[in-house]
Amino acid sequence: MNQYPIWKNLMVLVVVLLGALYALPNLFGQDPSMEISATRDAVVDQTTQSRVEQALQQLGISVKRMEMQQQKLLVRFNSSEDQLKAMDHIAAALGEDYTPALTLAPDLPDWLIGVGAEPMYLGLDLRGGIHVLIDVDMESAITQAAERYSSDIRTLLREEKLRYVRISREDERVVVKFNTAEKRDQAIELIGNEFRNLNVKDIDQEEAFLVEVSLSPAEKQEVQRFALQQNITTLRNRVNALGISEPSIQQQGVRRIVVQLPGAQDPGKVKEILGATATLEYRLADTEHSVEDAVNGRVPPGASLYYERDGRPVLLKKRVIVTGNQIVDASSGLDQQTGSPAVFVSLDGVGAKRMRRMTNENVGRPMAVVFIENRTTTRMVDGKAVKVKRKVEEVISIATIREPFGRRFQTTGLDTTEEARDLALLLRAGALAAPIEIVEERTIGPSLGQDSIDQGFASVMIGLALVMVFMAIYYRVFGLVADMALVMNLVLIVAILSMLQATLTLPGIAGIVLTVGMAVDANVLIFQRIREEIANGNSPQASIQAGYEKAFSTIIDANITTLIAAVVLFSFGTGPIKGFAVTLAIGILTSMFTAIIGTRAVINWIYGRKRVQSLAI
Amino acid sequence: MQILKKGTYLDLMGKRKLAIYFSSVLLLIALGAIIARGLNLGIDFTGGTLVEVKYPEAIELAVVREALDKDGFSEAVVQHFGTPQEVLVRLAPQDGMESAELSDRAFRAMQGITSEAELRRVEFVGPQVGEELTEKGGLAMLYALIGILIYVGLRFEYRFAVGSVIALVHDVLITVGFFALFHVEFDLPVLAAVLAVIGYSLNDTIVVFDRIRENFRKMRKGETVEIINTSVNQTLSRTLITSGTTLLVLIALFLFGGEIIHGFALALIVGVVIGTYSSIYVASSSVISMGVSRADLMPVKKDDEVVDETP
């Protein structure tokens, strides 16, 4: 009696061994490391490695190990001081084509890597880093699209020589006014044929012949989808240039983007780079009119008044030579003549042509670079938060055109090398398709993360020890078996979390703690039943059998209901709450296995197949 | 070793009137606290900015307040967090300033006291995100209850489903009421804990119900109240032991898990205590009040199984 078939014992053994194997990587430490990846066209190869070696030799830092990975070079240091010291030096030695990023690399033996075992993936709240939730302004994406259509329609009507009175854009729709019904009908046909994705209809009012053009629902969706995708791509470019290892940029819902930057330290800088919508415009200075008059409110037609960063007024022509959209590449460096920070810019074909023509005609005249940035601020209006968009326009450089130039040229007048670098980064990373706003930000310092791990670990261990002592005293031999199951349960949770590479968060640790408390429940149910059976005068063997059998359906019912709660938590929750739900769900499943099948296997091994007078329970 | 002596039989259900009064008083206090005091919602729900800074040495809050005041953060709520070295600052959404910039400015102001101040944590939640969370949290609670109602209804009987949901609403209201009464901050982890309480308390209730079902089928004689009382008694040891071990671990979490997890652990401790009580009294009393009888729980088809269980 009370004997498991061999396959069941084997299964328990296999699960236990696999669990131990995949939980193992978490016992190994992590090396402070640097991950070097190439940006743009460069490749990471032996040359890169020798350049890094050279740079480190100059600093007198010896590394633990260097590993060539796919498209990446991993440099392991002996201490985090070495790692930090080396960072700037290596960045300088490699130049702009490479991005070094600080990271922690697990120090695993080869055979563990061979079986694909990895340590648990720690969430930002445990390892430190920045989490940003970004809302994409879809309304503005739609308005921009409408703006585009309005200008396309204008061009179309002109080309077809169809005279209209006025074209105006009202929010999401474009209204064209005609003076005869005939022209209106012609226009409806023309626009309808040309733009099949637009809704076109007449909305005549009191003697006016109006055509209303609007985006079809499908087209609106497409515009929004595109805006989100484009923004994700742009944000990814910006994030990559920040030099952070394992960044994650993901869509959330239909209008949100989550950016996670493990290890990032400076939230101000990150937000500035992510949220910036900076662009440049090149314009000629208006030297024919007086700046003083303009300051006093008499701005001449064809010109606008701008201010330099130090507040000096400048009069610029309204016509833009080239805009940021025509910039294909930008890098920062130092101006060779003056040694001041500069941004080197390359233009696309159209931009280059225009720049060449304008500079050709205007040698000797001053040209200005205008820095344009859209900032969103939140104001409280009648107790409600309202977003206000503000456009900041500053002249960052004004210089005389010495000779005609075209495709490649440089912009100077920036205050610091850092500013030059940020500007180059923004220009290179491209523009956002729609304005964004940061709606949630969570920054966790690395020391807090470490504290959380330590405290979480300590509380799991203390709780575990207390429960184990209690079980051993209360249920004696059976209690010890339950203790084994409890430890095994913990190992299995860690193994599954490691295998799934699910993110372990602080609430996740709390979930584990809770599971430890509740995991003994199944065993308590079984053991109480066994005691009852013995009290009813049944034989020890029969009591074991009956105890496990009768408790089974209760355990299933009780656990499934808890599982329902975990599933609900998972489906509604974000980040940390999801982590809690995942560990809770895994814990319920593994505890059922260890508490029902695992303990039975051990109990069978101790008591099974022999005559037993009494049970130590 | 045993908590309860062998053959202990307490007249638990006999005191269920008392329990109804007790629960009613608790519920009234909880509801009153929620209505009158309201919940001290964290920035996860209200939106706003939170900055946690650690100074190399213990620091007076007045010094921090002054530094913040100078920079225009006169409305900031400043408090120690865990140790006298750590300071937590809360800022409501402010007029005319980019929300995301707020935390940087506040930290810089705090760093002005000593440059060795270390940024431990920044949380900024937009008002709109908070609103969504409140909505989602409420919905999650509702879905969980519906899911449970269906499962218990299918596995047992509708009156048991209603009884377990009554017990759950009872537990959730009292736990939330506790947070309102003592004005403990209610944030995202606490919400998760309250949802976990649902899972836990239900777990407890189901075990009792399971025994009630079994005993209805097995015991030929006896009034409904008597059978339920026997069932509660038989599961009492288990209920107390499991709650005890869970509480042991939760207290470890509360004491050693760190400041951030405090609210979470507290909510679970309150929830487990209330959940244990409710699985003994509230759920069973509800089932009795709804007039469950033996006939309701007899297996519909498998008549032979009943014969098997006859002693």
Q: Which CATH number covers residue A61? A: 3.30.70.260
Residue A351 — left, alpha, or beta (φ > 0 → left; ψ -120 to 50 → alpha)? Answer: alpha
Q: Please report, in angstroms and rounded to a whole number, the separation of the first and last CA atoms in chain B.
A: 29
Mean pLDDT in residue range B79-106: 81
Report the candidate in A582, A564, A563 with the shortest Cα–Cα distance to residue A573: A582
CA distance A412 to A278: 16
Q: Is residue A251 part of a domain?
A: no
Question: Which of B150, B69, B198 has its CA nearest to residue A565?
Answer: B198
Q: What is the pLDDT of residue B305?
A: 45
Question: Do A496 and A565 have their domain in common?
Answer: yes
Dist CA A428 CA A234 (whole Å): 10
pLDDT tens, position by position, A471-500:
999 999 999 999 999 999 999 999 999 999
Q: Of A541, A526, A436, A540, whose CA–CA distance to A479 is shortest?
A: A526
Flag if A510 and B202 touch (Cβ within 8 Å): no
| CATH number for position A282 | 3.30.1360.200
Instruction: Give A441→chain B minimum CA distance, Å.
Output: 5
b/e B153-187 (16+ beta carbons within 10 angstroms → b): bebbbebbbbbbbbbbbbbbbbbbbbbbbeebebb
Lowest mean pLDDT among A350-354, B72-76, B96-100, B248-252: B96-100
pLDDT-based confidence at B306, cuts 50/70/90?
very low
User: Is the distance from CB of A199 to CB of A183 less than 8 angstroms?
Assistant: no
The confidence score (pLDDT) of residue B308 equals: 46
Higher pLDDT, B289 or B299: B289
Interaxial angle between packed helices B16-36 and B282-289, expressed in degrees from 0 to 180 and rounded to the nearest 10: 110
* Least Cα separation, residue A572 to chain B (angstroms): 6
Residues in A 549-608 with any Cβ partner in B closer than 8 A = 550, 553-554, 557-562, 564-569, 571-573, 576-577, 580-581, 584
A142 pLDDT band, cuts 50/70/90, is confident
Per residue in A55-97, pLDDT (tens digit) is: 888 888 888 888 888 788 899 998 888 887 887 778 777 776 7
Do the chains contact at B104 and A459, CB–CB below 8 Å? Answer: no
Inter-chain contact A378–B119, Cβ cutoff 8 Å? no
Residues A308 and A433 in one domain: yes
Provide the pairing of β-strand B118-125 with B185-186: unpaired
Tokens of A271: 């937000």
Same-domain check for residues A397 and A483: no
φ/ψ of A496, rounded to 5, equals -65, -40
Clarify whether residues A500 and A407 are in a common domain.
no
Distance (Å) from the alpha carbon of B211 to chain A's nearest alpha carbon: 8
Identify whether residues A423 and A282 lie together within a single domain. Answer: yes
Contacts of A471 in chain B (CB under 8 A): 245
Q: Which of B26, B100, B142 is nearest to A436 (CA)?
A: B100
Domain boundary among A218, A235, A267: A218
Residues A172, A80 share a domain: no
Cβ distance A568 to B140 less than 8 Å, yes or no, reads yes
Better-scored residue on pLDDT, B55 or A432: B55
Q: A433 and A475 share a domain?
A: no
Out of A107, A126, A147, a domain closes at A107
Shortest CA distance from A389: residue in chain B: B98
Residues 245-284 of A with CB under 8 A from B: 267-268, 271, 275
- For the cut 90, the answer to whether the pLDDT of residue A409 exceeds it is no
pLDDT average, residue stretch A431-445? 83
Of B6, B203, B237, nearest to A558 by CB-CB distance is B203
Distance CA(A522)–CA(A497), nearest Å, equals 22
Mean pLDDT of A218-236: 86
What CA–CA distance (Å, rounded) separates A598 from A555?
Answer: 15
Mean pLDDT of chain B: 86
Residue B44 near residue B127, CB atoms below 8 Å: no
**What distance in Å separates residue A387's CA from the closest CA in chain B?**
9
Q: What distance in Å separates the CA atoms of residue B3 and residue A475, rounded to the nearest whole number?
A: 11
Chain A residues with CB-CB distance to B146 below 8 A: none
Tell me whether residue A115 is in a domain.
no
Inter-chain CB proximity A572 and B140 less than 8 Å: yes
Q: CA of A504: how far to CAs of A400, A463, A475, A508, A578, in Å?
A: 58, 19, 33, 6, 10
For residues A430-434, give the mean pLDDT. 71
Number of domains in chain A: 4
Could you give the CA distance from residue A571 to residue A591 in angstroms, rounded to a whole number?
22
Residues A491 and A377 in one domain: no
pLDDT of residue B310: 43
Do A425 and A336 share a structural domain? yes
| pLDDT on residue A261 | 92
Residue B194 has pLDDT above 80, yes or no: yes
The Cα of A84 is separated from the nearest Cα of chain B by a number of Å equal to 17
Stretch among A167-176, A377-386, A567-576 having the lowest mean pLDDT: A377-386
Res B184: pLDDT: 93
- Are residue A323 and residue A426 in the same domain, yes or no? yes
In single-letter form, the type of residue at position A607 comes to Y
In this prediction, residue B302 carries a pLDDT of 46
Q: What is the mean pLDDT of residues A298-325?
A: 84
Q: Is B258's CB within 8 Å of A452's CB? A: yes
User: Mean pLDDT throughout B229-244?
Assistant: 92
Please give the structure tokens belonging to residue A1.
């009696």
- In this structure, what CATH number is given to the domain that contains residue A189? 3.30.70
User: Is the residue at A258 inside a domain?
Assistant: no
The residue among B6, B105, B107, B242 with the most chain A CBs within 10 A of its CB, best to mutate, is B242
Among the residues of A115-253, which ranges form H helices? 124-127, 138-159, 181-194, 217-241
Give me the pLDDT at residue B55, please: 93
Higher pLDDT, B86 or B5: B86
Rounded Cα–Cα distance for residues A597 and A438 (Å):
49
pLDDT grade, residue B303 (50/70/90)? very low
Note the pLDDT tens digit of each residue in B139-177.
Answer: 888 888 888 888 888 988 889 999 999 999 999 999 999
Looking at A193, A218, A243, which one is the last position of a domain? Answer: A218
> What range defines the domain where residue A569 resides?
6-25+446-608
Q: Percent of chain B scored above 70 by pLDDT?
A: 93
Burial zone of A373 (CB within 10 Å; 0-12 exposed, 13-18 middle, 19+ buried): middle
| Pairing outcome for strands A98-106 and A30-38 | antiparallel
Q: Examine residue A538 and state whether it is found in any structural domain, yes or no.
A: yes
Alpha carbon of A360: minimum distance to chain B alpha carbons (Å): 43
Q: What pLDDT score was predicted for residue A374?
A: 66
In a domain, A261, yes or no: no
**A410 and A538 co-located in one domain:** no
Do residues A52 and A65 make contact, with C-beta atoms less than 8 angstroms apart?
Answer: no
> Do residues A437 and A289 share a domain?
yes
- pLDDT for the residue numbered A278: 66
Cβ-Cβ contacts under 8 Å, B144 against chain A: 564-565, 568
pLDDT for the residue A39: 67
For A506-564, the pLDDT digits (tens) are 888 888 888 888 889 999 999 999 999 999 999 999 999 999 999 998 999 888 888 88
pLDDT in the model for residue A377: 58
Residue of A nearest to B154 (CA): A557
Nearest to A439 among B129, B189, B211 (CB): B129
pLDDT at A476: 93
Residues in chain A within 8 Å Cβ distance of B245:
466-467, 470-471, 517-518, 520-521, 524
Option in A437, A463, A514 nearest B196 (CB):
A514
Q: Is A389 contained in some domain?
A: yes
Task: Give the pLDDT band (50/70/90) at residue B299.
Answer: low
Residue A522 forms part of a structural domain: yes
Query: pLDDT grade, residue B97 (50/70/90)?
Result: low
Contact A240/B at CB under 8 A: no
Q: Any chain B CB within 8 A of the CB of A113?
A: no
Is residue B124 pLDDT above 70, yes or no?
yes
Chain B nearest CA to A579, separation (Å): 11
> Which amino acid does the sequence have at A513?
V
Q: Is the pLDDT of residue A401 over 90?
A: no
DSSP string across A74-140: EEEESSHHHHHHHHHHHHHHH-TTEEEEEEEEE---HHHHHTT----EE-HHHH-EEEEEEEE-HHH
- In this prediction, residue B311 carries a pLDDT of 42
Looking at the complex, report in whole angstroms how far the Cα of residue A296 sits from the nearest Cα belonging to chain B: 28
* Closest CA of chain B from A298, distance in Å: 30
Tokens, residue B50: 């939170």
Task: Please give the Cα distance from A426 to A241 (Å, whole number).
Answer: 10
Measured between CB atoms, does A469 come within 8 Å of chain B?
no
User: Is the pLDDT score of A22 beyond 90?
Assistant: yes
Average pLDDT, chain A: 85
C-alpha closest to that of A122 among A409, A503, A541? A503
Contact B100 A441 (CB under 8 A): yes
Residue A207: pLDDT band with limits 50, 70, 90: confident
Residue B33 has pLDDT above 80, yes or no: yes
Q: How far apart are CA A204 and CA A381, in angstroms?
A: 37
Please measure the distance between the N-terminal and C-terminal CA atoms of chain A and give it in whole angstroms: 19
Separation in Å, CA A614 to CA A545, B2, B161: 14, 17, 40
pLDDT of B307 strictly over 60: no
B245·A520 Cβ contact <8 A: yes
pLDDT digits (tens, 9 = 90+) for A353-389: 889 988 898 888 999 888 877 665 555 566 555 656 6
Domain presence at residue A263: no
Kindly report the CATH number assigned to the domain that includes residue A523: 1.20.1640.10
Residues of A in contact with B54 (CB under 8 A): 445, 447
Q: How far apart are CA A152 and CA A331, in angstroms?
A: 34
Does B125 contact A439 at a Cβ distance shorter than 8 Å? yes
pLDDT exceeds cutoff 60 at B189 = yes
pLDDT of residue A380: 56
Chain B residue numbers with beta carbons less than 8 Å from the beta carbon of A472 are none
